[in-house]
Structure 1
Amino acid sequence: MASPKILAKQSAAREELAQRIDLTARPEFIERYIYGSLPEYRDGGGSPDDCRISIVQNDGTGAATVEYETEDAIRVFAKLYYDNSGEHSYNVLKTLWNNGLGTNSRYRVSEPLGFFPQYNMLLIRGATGSPVSSARTDAELASGAREAARWLVQLHSSAVRVGEARYPWEVYHKLTHRLAKAAAQHPDRVDDLIEMADRFEQLARAVKLHFVQAHGQYRHIHVFVSSETVTVIDLDRSRPSDPAQDLGEFLHRMRTKRFKATVGLSRAEEATRVFLDEYQDKLPENLINLPYYWCYHTLVSLWRFMKSSAPDDPRWGPMIDFYMSEFEKALSYRRIN
């Protein structure tokens, strides 16, 4: 449990963020920062009174996000941060937008409209299209996964480098915390947990250092596809890192969500194949560490589930079997040479 000093600091930070959120709803704020940041309104014509506002995220786990929709259905998102990740995200977006993932490309990042340090606020234009995660069928999901792979190829092929490098061993901080909590909740399964950690360690010994500008949180909920563009959002964690970090997280999140949504009937196998084939066709050398990162994300989810669940939970059997088989699948993955 956090100390009283830490709790007081967190409470003060939440209160300060709430005050900034209140400011974002004022007409003078909307006129200056929202309409003033959009080229469509720089000659006037916008009315703050006609702008719809909604808070789309403010759960205390990161940046708060406020959505604005103008009378012409132009959407802008304001992200209000606790830390310096907003300025970093703006620098990443601006650099990528101006270097191949902007106006003249089908595959692009969210258009950065500005960073305003007095509010620790990033403004971006809303993405068009639908997220890949909204696919209703396996065929729709495979189509979206193909576009997601093509977008990732563009990012990983870029010469852009922004931020401090993230190294493969950094995953161990989160992983060991999850392991400890799962073991504490299920002491009778400690031997099984240690065996999985040992097998993961064998993968770690074979990791080859390789860096690209990675997304840092590449999930199918962040990939928006329209007939004209494929736009990816939420690059707050983008840094030079192993490309397989993005690949492993995308596959794990997509397969897990599909398994849950279909009550175990699908694991997005077609979408997995399409995603990997499309990516490997262009950047095969980037898949060398995929088993390591795919296994990492699977273990994090498995051990999180175990720390908050018990064998008498109806979900226990299906989800444990799913995560265990996913771990084996990731562990045995070999790229096609």
Structure 2
Amino acid sequence: MLSDCWWLMVALTNISNAELESDYALINRLRNALDTGSLLTVLRHEWSYLANSKTKLCSCEVERVHPRRNQGFVIEYLMGFEGPAGSSMQRVFGQVPRHNPRDVFDETIVSLQSRKRRQLSKKYATNHVALIPALGLILRFPGFDEKIDGLRLLRDPNWIVTNLSGGTKPFPDHFARSELLAHRLGKRSVVRLLSDTQEGEAPNAVIVKLYKRHSQRSANVAALMRTLSDSNFGGQNNIRLPEIIHEFPMLPATVMENLSGTPLSELCDRDVASGMALAGRALGTLHDSQIETNEWFGPDDEVALLCERVGLAAEVMPECAPLLYKALGNSQRLIENCRSFEATLIHRDFHEKQILVDGKRAALIDLDTSCMGDPAQDIGNFLAHLKFRELQTSSDVSSQTDAFLDGYRDVRRLPAQARVQAHTKSTLLRMACIYAFSSKWHHLLPRLIDHD
């Protein structure tokens, strides 16, 4: 099946036997790292963190796998621990590097301990980042990333204070603590900084979005957000964006206000319908903004992304390959018929967690992947996530779907139904490939693909 996994291959005339053997070895190491039963046994014997912290590893689930092209793979685990402070569930990153794991591990430790990053002390290094030689696997807890310099904020939240000047919104002159809200290893992370408060008072806080070193993404996203805000984005539809307080091009990082509100995915039942309508209006407002960027995502990009995801899932789980490749062919044919559309600014990662609802208002967040493209892509992506939640919870989401589409229609006309359906199916296939690796949701793969 290796020849079907196009993203692992270069032209056969240019690939050596040594490189082929390396790819086979990499996939085998990935399979071993995904076998949670064997993984638990190995980690209980070899992971020094457990002995150092007097902690017991009780459970381990795979949540997602991220391909890193020529660097290997990153696995997101959810692990259950029991230690002196009680029981906890924590996410842990597992790296399956393409190159020698020992060399990659040594380079990682040196980089994290550098004076510039100051993320890892020599005394406790192996408590946070560890090599498991038997598996060729590097484990680390979120918050330690040699490619994101600004994560030193987690250890020193006031490191950034002296540079917070010239912003448009008040902010504290001292932060008491920091919280890691999200971390995509090697890509970006989100940190909340909170100030001291009196009893009963809500803390002042800011959100700091950190990007990998030398990335232009921070500046590009901030510029887009400022352009949208200057155009009075969403003012008539009760939709808003986070306000930018400050930018740090050298990190790079963007400091934003800490918005109030509840993620759409966490609303109570009585508020879901109105929240879905707000989500539809938010997306329609973005598509109707008349703002343009230099980045583009079209049908060819969608197919390439599908090929990558299907290729990986089929290579690691060959028993699923026939089903996956058949679905890929169907999606390719549908997407091929989506080449005629009026491009707008799209979100390109629009789902329930990208909307914060605060009463009758909503905020649209996380514009990192925004670009020009087919508005049907965003709608299909959102509808596919609703379908996934329906399968997860065995609930009926038809009323939520209707509320979302009605909200969108309040702002602008829906794209052609055939394009929305094509992008919904494409997203469902992509999600099937992502959750094929999930310990909890692997069983949903056929139902995601067979959805009509």
TM-score range, shorter chain: 0.7 to 0.9
CA RMSD of aligned residues (A): 3.0
Q: In structure 2, what is the equivalent of residue 231 of structure 1?
A: 363
SS in 1 for 2:190: strand
1:146 CA drift (Å): 0.6
1:122 CA drift (Å): 0.8
Larger proportion of helix: 1
Q: In structure 1, what is the equivalent of residue 337 of structure 2?
A: 206
Structure 2 residue 401 is the aligned partner of structure 1 residue 275: no
Q: Is the 8 A contact 1:97 1:103 kept in 2?
A: no
1:114 CA drift (Å): 2.4
Q: Distance in 1 between matches of 2:358 and 2:153?
A: 33
Counterpart pick for 1:115 among 224, 228, 247: 247
Q: Distance in 2 between matches of 1:78 and 1:239?
A: 22
Q: Distance in 2 between matches of 1:159 and 1:233?
A: 18
1:121/1:102 CA distance change after superposition, 3 Å: farther
1:107/1:283 CA distance change after superposition, 3 Å: same
Aligned residue-pair number: 311
Q: In structure 2, what is the equivalent of residue 216 of structure 1?
A: 348
Counterpart pick for 2:223 among 91, 94, 97: 91
1:86 CA drift (Å): 0.8
SS in 1 for 2:247: strand
Q: In structure 2, what is the equivalent of residue 54 of structure 1?
A: 179
Counterpart of 1:4, as a letter, is: H
Q: Distance in 2 between matches of 1:102 and 1:205?
A: 33
1:103 CA drift (Å): 7.0
Q: Is the 8 A contact 1:102 1:108 kept in 2?
A: yes
1:128 CA drift (Å): 1.6
Q: Distance in 2 between matches of 1:274 and 1:191?
A: 37
Q: Is the 8 A contact 2:146 2:186 kept in 1?
A: no
1:26 CA drift (Å): 4.9
Counterpart of 2:407, as a letter, is: E
1:287/1:141 CA distance change after superposition, 3 Å: farther
1:219/1:61 CA distance change after superposition, 3 Å: farther
Counterpart of 2:193, as a letter, is: Y
Counterpart pick for 1:29 among 147, 152, 160: 160
SS in 1 for 2:302: helix
Q: Is the 8 A contact 1:247 1:290 kept in 2?
A: yes
1:198 CA drift (Å): 2.3
1:22/1:281 CA distance change after superposition, 3 Å: closer
Deviations 1:28-51 (CA, angstroms, capped at 9, x unpaired): 522432x7635335xxxx4415x4
> Identity, % of aligned pairs?
20
Q: Distance in 2 between matches of 1:103 and 1:113?
A: 20
1:95 CA drift (Å): 0.6
Structure 2 residue 434 is the aligned partner of structure 1 residue 304: yes
1:109 CA drift (Å): 1.3
Deviations 1:170-218 (CA, angstroms, capped at 9, x unpaired): 0122211222233334445544333322221221221123211111211
Structure 2 residue 20 is the aligned partner of structure 1 residue 20: no
Which runs of no fewer than 5 residues in structure 1 stay unpaired? 329-337
SS in 2 for 1:284: coil
Q: Distance in 2 between matches of 1:257 and 1:195?
A: 24
Q: In structure 2, what is the equivalent of residue 284 of structure 1?
A: 413
Counterpart of 1:286, as a letter, is: P
Structure 2 residue 214 is the aligned partner of structure 1 residue 100: no
Q: Distance in 1 between matches of 2:104 and 2:216?
A: 21
Q: Is the 8 A contact 1:80 1:122 kept in 2?
A: yes
Structure 2 residue 324 is the aligned partner of structure 1 residue 324: no
Q: In structure 2, what is the equivalent of residue 69 of structure 1?
A: 194
1:111 CA drift (Å): 1.1
Q: Is the 8 A contact 1:156 1:213 kept in 2?
A: yes
1:160/1:294 CA distance change after superposition, 3 Å: same
Q: Is the 8 A contact 1:90 1:114 kept in 2?
A: no
Q: Distance in 2 between matches of 1:130 and 1:93?
A: 21
TM-score (norm 2): 0.62
Determine which structure has more spread, i.e. the larger CA radius of gyration: 2
1:206/1:55 CA distance change after superposition, 3 Å: same
Which runs of no fewer than 5 residues in structure 2 stay unpaired? 1-25, 27-70, 72-97, 113-144
SS in 1 for 2:307: helix
SS in 2 for 1:40: coil
Q: Which structure is higher in RCO with an 8 Å CA cutoff and minimum separation 6?
A: 1
Q: Distance in 2 between matches of 1:61 and 1:233?
A: 21
Runs of 4+ in 1 over 6 A off after TM superposition: 102-105
TM-score (norm 1): 0.81
Larger proportion of strand: 2
SS in 2 for 1:15: coil
Counterpart of 1:296, as a letter, is: S
1:287/1:27 CA distance change after superposition, 3 Å: same
